[in-house]
Structure 1
Amino acid sequence: MPHQESQQEIRRAAAALDRRRFLTTTGAALALAFTTDLPGSAHAAEADARTVLKADPFTLGVASGDPLPGSVVLWTRLAPKPYESGSGLPNARIAVEWEIARDARFRRVVRRGRTTAHPEFDHSVHVEAGGLAPGSVYHYRFRAGGHTSPAGRTRTAPEAGARLDLLRLAAVSCQAYHDGYYTAHRHLAEEDVDLVFHLGDYLYEYAVDAHGGARKYTDRTLPEIFNRETTTLEDYRLRYALYKSDPDLRAAHAAHPFLVTWDDHETENNYADDTPEDGGPAEEFLVRRAAAYRAYWENQPLRRPQRPRGPDMQLYRRLRFGTLAQFDILDTRQYRSDQAYGDGAHHPGPESEDPKRTMTGAAQERWLIDGWRTSRTLWNVVPQQVTFSERRTDSTPAYKVSMDAWDGYPASRERLLAGAESAGVRNLMVLTGDVHKHYAYDIKRDFGDQKSRTMGTEIVATSITSGKDGQDKPADWDSYMGANPHMKFYNGRRGYVTVRLTRQRAHIDFRAVSAVTTPGAPVHTAASFVTEVGDQGLKKG
């Protein structure tokens, strides 16, 4: 990883490249990826909403997220023509009204206000609504130009010292649009959960053909603009419009507050910090990263501190729910060392075992361990992207592990395990995405010694669609289960995970659907586990 001075030079070069090259090749919009402040009135005139919003502007739905005691983020984006550049809107500011009520019919409105959808942010809206009661359920909606958005349901976090006896979570990841229907999101919308963690690959950069890939549309044709890899700001914005136009994803967002983090595909497969998948100049990749990060923030219910500054965006953050749970949401993509031995599977060696290698970067690593030391909650939950526990391909001496997962960064993992041990963390749960499989692990203090202390549990949520339909027992099931005694469950279907945290235990349900290449498949519980407070380790539930 380059030193700080080198990184600053690269970022200056990226900004210069943006002005010289991309202003001529992709239009002036990409320069916006390097702006940092909210636009002022000098940037664009204000339009009459009723004049410019002839059609419904709320085609991408609503969302909420990052709840704090008495506050939550409300999101929408005006897009009357979502599959067109600029979404059919002029380069003008548009007024948007919002309101929050105690009831679904909005008879008891408790907060309302007016905000602005700026063209510089693709007419997205982020309202950090405050003055709400802690630990409470609310309903919200937006209005613009005589149109009213669908209503969403959200909730605030309880006060920091509040005793909370139950918290219901869900975890999702990896929703390649071209690999199938978002049936799992439709079922998730109907689950009784308090929070949803999206653990990465919300978006895929790969081309989507006119028939929607595995969706095999016969009743519509997607525009040719989607049939290319995303590289520019316009590309990423349009791809979010495609994904968010899906009714099942919109339903899940409207039903629950989301806490999001990214993995690689929101930018490019298997990138590491400023190193693209197939190599190339860091300054050119940082221009692409700036575009991807800006579009990510524009399209997610994130707070102002998460707004990117050019190619940099602090996505790791901490939320607490009373004295029951602390959530340390990680970013294992933006600060990591480049993968050893390439991006795939490889036997551990001197390159991967270099003690200087990092998955999180030094600052995020210190932040996480310091947060554990000061935690006063019963559960410490770490939502993050790639498999944390050791995952050997087989039981032979020549076994391989994933160089893109924590197995490719064992020194970084060891520092976290040592930090958790010294901090006295007793009830640790890692929530993971990425691998398109359901896994359940006991986190061992030393994965080479299965008799070593169980430090916590890792719950891996399978994909929403990525990998298409999958199967209950993948072909490598026997080799993986045999080589990894700490692996307690492995299933290859699509779906999501739900977790019920109490003051006595965590109950985990691995939810699965039988198919995603055809719509409407039912959901079932593939397996259930529990882990007890003070006695970590997964047991069949």
Structure 2
Amino acid sequence: MNRRSFLLSGSMATSAILLGRAWASAPSSWSAYPFSLGVASGEPDESSVVLWTRLAPYPAEFAYGLTTEIVPVTWEIAHDEQMLQIVQHGTVQATPEFAHSVHVEVQGLSPDRWYWYRFHAGDATSPVARTRTAPPLHATPEKLRFTFVSCQKYENGYYTGFDCMAQESPDLIVHLGDYIYEKGFHAPDALHLPDRPHPKDTCVTLDQYRLRYALYKTDPQLQKAHHVAPWIVTPDDHEVSNNYAGDVDEYNTPREKFLVQRAAAYKAYYEHMPLRRSAIPNGPSMQLYRTIPYGQLANFYVLDTRQYRSDQPCDDRIKPVCEGALAPTQTMMGSRQEQWLFQSFSRSTAQWNVLAQQILMAEVNWNPTGHPILESMDKWDGYHAARTRLYRNIIDRKLRNPIVISGDIHLNFANDLKMSSLEESSPTLATEFAGTSITSGGNGTDVSDEAKKWRTFNPHVRFYNEQRGYVTCELTNKMWRSDFRVLDFVDRHGGSISTRASFVVEDGKAGVQSI
């Protein structure tokens, strides 16, 4: 029997037509391990969490070892790691429509506690992983410890950072995008690591995106990080196409054609992330912005800065500020998302209000000589009016302790956010922590000579670093602390993690303080 069947010889398959689809009973034995992509959880609230897995016995193949079968998958969630105190269980169907992924929204859980979970398909059992519910909406927990991360280009290095992150045992992990990279191995910054083979093609079709996710998710260190805590996820550009803006990509692909590609990319993203059913894409549209509360201690506003934005003004590179970057019609989030966010500010009673988003928000002059001012048109610097509207609503609605966490840039920043960032006298209204990449960009360095020059013209940039790693944050009702965790190298195994710098933000006082 060929390996695209999930029954070995000796296991008699029975088939019938069920609702017009092919049905296959659970196998008594698989020809290859079906949980090759691991398991994950996400979207925690006070009584529920999403459990995810995807059956893929042959993840490197287009058909991944399954074709039209509908496979029953049993899930269990327990109070203990040994899975002896099971509190809920059930069976769901893994269907070809969603690449045999399952998204179980477990309800009725107790708030603010750890759980363990696993899946079964036939005689195969997934790894046991850990997840956690959020505190009750009215409660203020003593603390929250979470990490945030982004940009994990597979061929640029090893996922040592995820291994280190898992060992820290955070309550929550926030991924700010670039979970995969769509481009092929011919990309200029690709490293030739012998045990990290990478496709040469650039993703355009659903099958190509599915294969790219499968490549990334087979990594054991990435799986380890998914297995220790629930994740909150949001995509950036490379889950679709580099620097895309709304319905425009960098290649000027015809709109109708690009939207077909975007629909394929969004579908593959949903299939591989622990997201709720409300995020199932509708063609090229996907509901991604949302609020995730952590009791009264924190609100996470998860933003979508790609799907609704205006095209980048004057190209998408670093250049002198042009009229387009100042245009009031330029939008980063779209009007509906803006209205949702600003109204959410008015309703918030949380101690810390966290904008979890993709791209650097602070205004930065990248010119090492200071003049003319050079800004990055793909970041918020290309959307001055949209950023001003956001800042104005933070001030006018008296948002308590606003903190922005950002990814995308492959660099570490701690920034004081100001209405006029390049003017030292402008008051600080919020704080931004931007995290570097896990691997993208290669090993990196501490601070380049060029950066030492341009930093002198950006006094609001309180910290800057070019190594790889992630950021660990601890929140209490009195203080926010961010530790910039960096690796000495990622181009080989065995990198060491250390804390390069630590900063705190005090309750009621915007701006970072070094410790």
TM-score, normalising length: structure 2 = 0.94
Structure with the higher fraction of residues in helix conformation = 1
Whether the 8 Å CA contact 2:169–2:229 is kept in 1: the answer is no
1:497 partner SS: strand
Match of 1:5 in 2: none
Match of 1:206 in 2: 183
Aligned partner (choices 220, 226, 230) of residue 247 of structure 1: 220
1:476 partner SS: helix
Match of 1:361 in 2: 334
Shift, 1:352, TM fit? 1.1
Q: Does 1:449 align with 2:423?
A: yes
Q: Does 1:497 align with 2:471?
A: yes
**CA–CA distance in structure 1, aligned partners of residues 434 and 106 of structure 2:** 32
Shift, 1:396, TM fit? 2.6
Amino acid at match of 1:250: Q
**CA–CA distance in structure 2, aligned partners of residues 480 and 517 of structure 1:** 28
Match of 1:11 in 2: none
**CA–CA distance in structure 2, aligned partners of residues 172 and 341 of structure 1:** 29
Shift, 1:193, TM fit? 1.2
1:319-368 Cα shifts (integer Å, max 9, x gaps): 11111100000000000000001010111121110011000000001111
1:107–1:52 distance in 2 versus 1, CA, 3 Å: closer
Aligned partner (choices 148, 153, 162) of residue 176 of structure 1: 153
Whether the 8 Å CA contact 2:28–2:123 is kept in 1: the answer is no
Match of 1:136 in 2: 113
Match of 1:410 in 2: 384
1:17-55 Cα shifts (integer Å, max 9, x gaps): xxxxxxxxxxxxxxxxxxxxxxx9435222122167332
1:214 partner SS: coil
2:174 partner SS: strand
Aligned partner (choices 246, 249, 256) of residue 229 of structure 2: 256
Amino acid at match of 1:166: K
Amino acid at match of 1:463: S
1:255 partner SS: coil
1:321–1:106 distance in 2 versus 1, CA, 3 Å: same
Whether the 8 Å CA contact 1:180–1:215 is kept in 2: the answer is no
Amino acid at match of 1:163: T
Aligned partner (choices 39, 61, 68) of residue 62 of structure 1: 39
Match of 1:192 in 2: 169
**CA–CA distance in structure 2, aligned partners of residues 208 and 125 of structure 1:** 30
**CA–CA distance in structure 2, aligned partners of residues 257 and 186 of structure 1:** 15
1:234–1:51 distance in 2 versus 1, CA, 3 Å: farther
Amino acid at match of 2:408: D
**CA–CA distance in structure 1, aligned partners of residues 249 and 222 of structure 2:** 29
Amino acid at match of 2:291: R
TM-score, normalising length: structure 1 = 0.90
**CA–CA distance in structure 2, aligned partners of residues 160 and 215 of structure 1:** 49
Amino acid at match of 1:424: K
Whether the 8 Å CA contact 1:124–1:298 is kept in 2: the answer is yes
Whether the 8 Å CA contact 2:43–2:50 is kept in 1: the answer is yes
Match of 2:4 in 1: none
Q: Does 1:77 align with 2:54?
A: yes
Amino acid at match of 2:332: M
Farther off after superposition, 168-177 or 467-476: 467-476
Match of 1:10 in 2: none
CA RMSD in angstroms comes to 1.5
Q: Does 1:232 align with 2:205?
A: yes
2:64 partner SS: helix
Q: Does 1:534 align with 2:508?
A: yes
**CA–CA distance in structure 1, aligned partners of residues 126 and 454 of structure 2:** 47
**CA–CA distance in structure 1, aligned partners of residues 436 and 455 of structure 2:** 17
1:150-199 Cα shifts (integer Å, max 9, x gaps): 11110011111012120111110000001111110111111131111100
Unaligned stretches of 5+ in structure 1? Answer: 1-39
Q: Does 1:112 align with 2:89?
A: yes
**CA–CA distance in structure 2, aligned partners of residues 216 and 420 of structure 1:** 46
Q: Does 1:298 align with 2:271?
A: yes
Match of 1:162 in 2: 139
**CA–CA distance in structure 2, aligned partners of residues 480 and 161 of structure 1:** 45
Shift, 1:483, TM fit? 1.4
Q: Does 1:371 align with 2:344?
A: yes
Match of 1:289 in 2: 262
Whether the 8 Å CA contact 1:263–1:434 is kept in 2: the answer is yes
Shift, 1:401, TM fit? 0.4
1:237 partner SS: helix
Shift, 1:480, TM fit? 3.0
1:391-434 Cα shifts (integer Å, max 9, x gaps): 11135331210000000000000000001111101301000000
Whether the 8 Å CA contact 1:272–1:334 is kept in 2: the answer is yes
**CA–CA distance in structure 2, aligned partners of residues 450 and 42 of structure 1:** 66
Q: Does 1:385 align with 2:358?
A: yes
**CA–CA distance in structure 2, aligned partners of residues 283 and 515 of structure 1:** 42
Match of 1:425 in 2: 399
**CA–CA distance in structure 1, aligned partners of residues 444 and 338 of structure 2:** 35
**CA–CA distance in structure 1, aligned partners of residues 50 and 113 of structure 2:** 14
1:272–1:197 distance in 2 versus 1, CA, 3 Å: same
Match of 1:338 in 2: 311
**CA–CA distance in structure 1, aligned partners of residues 191 and 323 of structure 2:** 41
Aligned partner (choices 43, 46, 54) of residue 23 of structure 2: 46
Whether the 8 Å CA contact 1:69–1:135 is kept in 2: the answer is yes
1:86 partner SS: coil
Whether the 8 Å CA contact 1:444–1:450 is kept in 2: the answer is no
1:437–1:49 distance in 2 versus 1, CA, 3 Å: same
1:43–1:403 distance in 2 versus 1, CA, 3 Å: farther
**CA–CA distance in structure 2, aligned partners of residues 448 and 480 of structure 1:** 12
Percent identical pairs in the alignment equals: 46
Whether the 8 Å CA contact 2:436–2:468 is kept in 1: the answer is yes
Match of 2:13 in 1: none
Whether the 8 Å CA contact 2:29–2:124 is kept in 1: the answer is no
Aligned partner (choices 244, 261, 281) of residue 271 of structure 1: 244
